[in-house]
Copies of this chain bind each other. A is one copy, B any other.
């Protein structure tokens, strides 16, 4: 496992926060948001983070000729989300290597943590082969990095 980030429980530790509203279609028969529905929340927050960094994902694909494939995913479910709730998804970049980077997430409602997550991404070229990260990502990691307290394991 490449996963090394440890997401903070405090939104204040995240340089970027994206809001999502839960959908009824995402609920399940237990009456809560189904655990699979969190994964698109993370992706939506990640896309918004890239946009905020000045590198929208469509542009990364077009200009840099790379896709950021998902290599690993880890989610901790701490308290359920419910239909109609507004979720603050904090996101922070970290753990860069030559070809991979990580994003740490906190999902909180009214400041209360509901879930944390980490994704690991690899740059792949148009033929699906691993390739170097675009050079702007190093700067992005400085600007959108997690607060030092989060650290790495």
Chain A residues within 8 Å of B, Cβ to Cβ? 1, 3, 21, 23-32, 34-36, 39-40, 43-44, 47, 56-58, 67, 69-77, 80, 83-84, 128
Contact = CB atoms under 8 A, between A and B. Distances in A.
A25 B28 CA distance: 6
5 contacts: A23-B40, A23-B43, A24-B47, A69-B80, A72-B74
Contacts of A34: 24-25, 27
A41 to B, nearest CB: 9
A113 B26 CA distance: 26
Contacts of A75: 72-74
Contacts of A1: 74, 76
B72 A73 contact: no
B24 A29 contact: yes
